[in-house]
């Protein structure tokens, strides 16, 4: 891809009116950044170097091992500084999902004499809901989901009642919703959790590298491939004072929080990619947010019977979701794919289990004909122009083929 | 589309006879059996019924796609209809939704 080698930032000059522009590294038409990003060029360079330099077991006591250890420690320090954590609070896992599973299971284990209920928003990532259900061990009353409003935002009054009732092991609230982009009131939830001395797990997978992160969490999780790191690296950050007990067999831990070997090259690549996206983050977020505004406004104006979902202001800078009446999500994805666009859908026909997105259902939003557009850093303006140009025709065609035009 | 027998209720969309199935079902003017069809098809069927002339005031929709639980209510909100009742289908397969048009 020609634009990958574009390593001269097209902006950023002091005093320039032009917004900073992250050099793009994703393919044309790729608008599914909230699912995954390809490896950032800086991450790729770091990975190749670390494959040679960081292959040895960092826990051993010889030259090559010490070199691995130094690379790992530097990567940990770099990621910790972005998260607002101390390096010794940060561990790396094999994925964001694994980080979430360990976060929930470890808090439940650490708090087993204090509280048993796992309280989450109804719109958490499925990894959080699955871990909560497992922790509840078949007792449905122990996995408590707190509802959201029509924008997908946590109902704080309902949360208050749940916390008031006690017997809580942990509260899990995402930084922002992965499907509709709405930011959660993490600060308010944190104050309520603090009041009840309940630890707060923040799944920040969609926010790291994209926006300022919440503070005051007890445990935070993230996933490197959402910011341009490799797919096999997740982050588990546990505050020193938090009672978290590893659910893994003790002997496997070697003093850490995560059992098993450490992928030093992958972690080094993840840290390098994060450093690279952090450099332009604020300006790039502002640029993408304007593109999202344009998508929200144009879709609402050019597509009949569409519901543009989520909060239009207090939201992630790069995510927009809408549902089109009488449209089959799978047909929509197929037609867009043929036009060269990669997007995702929360509609049931697209899901493995043929159930609609739990996020859309919790919001009471139309679940069919759903599209999520999530912009990669460096997203091309003209990709968005072309997407907005072809979308109304595609939706009209899908409606017509279902005999639903004019309804 | 095959159809599990429902006792005494009209089961095809062509049957415009008003009726009730007893067994806790509310009165309706038209029943649409959209079971084994995935969204948006049950919603499109609702919309077709609403566009018919004359259009039935009370439509009882049977659907088993879990998406219908959200989408029927969302469609009602978008089209000024009321989801006035929901409960299990008469034969226990899927759910029934009573959608009511505003009376002129």
pLDDT value of position A37: 98
Q: Where are the domains of chain B?
A: 1-104
Mean pLDDT of chain A: 93
Maximum CA extent, chain B: 36
Question: How many C-beta atoms lie closer than 10 Å to residue A252's C-beta?
Answer: 11
Distance set, CA A128 to CA A15, A103, A203, A215, B31 (Å): 44, 9, 8, 19, 40
Distance set, CA A279 to CA A46, A97, A187 (Å): 16, 26, 25
Task: Check CB contact under 8 Å for A348 and B38.
Answer: yes
Which residues in chain A have Cβ-Cβ distances shorter than 8 Å to B51? 406-407
pLDDT tens figures, A292-313: 999 999 999 999 999 999 999 9
Question: CA-based Rg of chain A, rounded to a whole angstrom?
Answer: 22
Which residues in chain A have Cβ-Cβ distances shorter than 8 Å to B74? 307, 323, 364-367
**A12 pLDDT band (50/70/90 cuts)?**
very low
Task: Say yes or no: A369 contacts chain B, CB-CB below 8 A.
Answer: yes
Question: How many C-beta atoms lie closer than 10 Å to residue B11's C-beta?
Answer: 18
Number of helices (H) and strands (E), helices first, in chain B?
Answer: 2, 4
> Which tokens hold the place of A213?
């992160």
Least Cα separation, residue B53 to chain A (angstroms):
13
pLDDT at B23 over 50: yes
pLDDT at B24 over 90: no
What order do you get walking across the sheet with A143-146 strand by strand?
A90-93, A234-238, A219-223, A200-203, A168-172, A117-121, A143-146
Strands B95-100 and B82-88, sheet pairing:
antiparallel
pLDDT value of position B14: 38
What order do you get walking across the sheet with A306-309 strand by strand?
A306-309, A319-324, A370-374
Please give the angle made by the CA atoms of A28, A32 and A33, to the nearest 5 degrees. 95
Q: Could you say which of A349, A351, A361, A390 is catalytic?
A: A349
Per this entry, what is the length of chain B? Answer: 104
> Which tokens hold the place of B31?
């029943």
Minimum CA–CA partner of A331 in chain B: B40
- Domains, chain A: 2-30+280-401 (3.90.1150.10), 43-278 (3.40.640.10)
* Model confidence, pTM: 0.90
Enter the ipTM. 0.85
Task: Check CB contact under 8 Å for B47 and A360.
Answer: no
Active site residue A324: no
Task: Say yes or no: B69 contacts chain A, CB-CB below 8 A.
Answer: yes
CATH architecture classification, B1-104: 2-Layer Sandwich (3.30)
Strands (E), A124-203: 143-146, 168-172, 200-203
Least Cα separation, residue A101 to chain B (angstroms):
27
pLDDT tens figures, A217-226: 999 999 999 9
Alpha helix stretches (DSSP H) within A85-148: 96-110, 126-135
Please tell me which of the candidates B44, B48, B65 has its beta carbon nearest to residue A348. Answer: B65
Mutation site for A-interface testing, chosen from B13, B35, B36, B39 by largest number of A Cβ within 10 Å: B39
Please tell me which of the candidates B43, B48, B51 has its beta carbon nearest to residue A368. Answer: B43
pLDDT value of position B22: 53
pLDDT tens figures, A63-121: 999 999 999 999 999 999 999 999 999 999 999 999 999 999 999 999 999 999 999 99
């Amino acid at each position: 891809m020609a634009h990958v080698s574009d390593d001269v930032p097209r902006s950023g000059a002091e005093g320039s009116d032009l917004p900073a522009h992250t050099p793009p590294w994703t393919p044309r038409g790729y608008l599914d950044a909230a699912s995954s990003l390809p490896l950032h060029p800086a991450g790729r360079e770091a990975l190749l170097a670390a494959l040679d330099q960081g292959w040895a077991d960092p826990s051993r006591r010889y030259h090559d091992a010490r070199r691995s250890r130094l690379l790992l420690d530097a990567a940990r320090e770099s990621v910790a500084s972005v998260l607002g954590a101390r390096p010794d609070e940060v561990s790396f896992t094999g994925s964001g999902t694994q980080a979430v599973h360990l976060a929930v299971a470890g808090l439940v284990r650490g708090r087993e004499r204090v509280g048993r209920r796992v309280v989450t928003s109804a719109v958490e990532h499925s990894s959080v809901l699955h871990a909560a259900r497992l922790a509840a061990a078949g007792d449905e009353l122990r996995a408590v989901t707190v509802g959201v409003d029509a924008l997908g935002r946590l109902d704080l009054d309902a949360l208050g009642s749940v916390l008031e009732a006690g017997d809580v092991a942990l509260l899990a609230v995402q930084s922002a919703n992965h499907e509709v982009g709405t930011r959660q009131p993490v600060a308010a939830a944190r104050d309520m959790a603090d009041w009840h001395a309940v630890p707060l797990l923040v799944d920040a997978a969609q926010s790291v590298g994209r926006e300022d992160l919440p503070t005051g969490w007890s445990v935070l999780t993230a996933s490197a491939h959402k910011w341009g790191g490799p797919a096999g690296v997740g982050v588990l950050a546990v505050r020193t004072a938090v009672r978290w007990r590893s659910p893994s067999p003790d002997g496997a831990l070697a003093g850490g929080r995560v059992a098993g070997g450490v992928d030093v090259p992958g972690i080094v690549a993840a840290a390098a990619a994060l450093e690279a996206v952090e450099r332009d983050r604020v300006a790039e977020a502002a640029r993408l947010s304007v593109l999202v505004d344009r998508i929200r406004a144009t879709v609402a104006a050019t597509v009949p019977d569409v519901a543009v979902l989520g909060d239009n202001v207090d939201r992630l800078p790069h995510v927009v979701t809408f549902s089109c009446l009488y449209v089959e999500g799978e047909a929509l994805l197929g037609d867009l794919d043929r036009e060269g666009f990669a997007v995702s859908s929360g509609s049931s026909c697209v899901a493995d289990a043929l159930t609609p997105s739990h996020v859309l259902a919790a919001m009471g939003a139309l679940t069919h004909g759903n599209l999520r557009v999530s912009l990669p850093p460096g997203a091309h303006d003209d990709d968005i122009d072309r997407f907005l140009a072809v979308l109304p025709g595609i939706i009209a065609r899908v409606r017509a083929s279902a005999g639903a035009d004019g309804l | 589309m095959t159809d599990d027998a429902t006792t005494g209720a009209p089961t095809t969309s062509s049957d415009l006879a008003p009726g009730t199935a007893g067994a806790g079902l509310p009165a309706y003017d038209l029943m649409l059996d959209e079971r084994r069809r995935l969204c948006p098809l049950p919603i499109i069927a609702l919309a077709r019924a609403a566009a018919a002339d004359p259009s039935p005031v009370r439509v009882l929709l049977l659907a088993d796609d879990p998406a219908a639980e959200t989408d029927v209510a969302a469609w009602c909100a978008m089209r000024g209809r009321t989801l006035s009742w929901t409960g299990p289908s008469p034969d226990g397969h899927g759910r029934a939704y009573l959608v009511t048009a505003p009376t002129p």
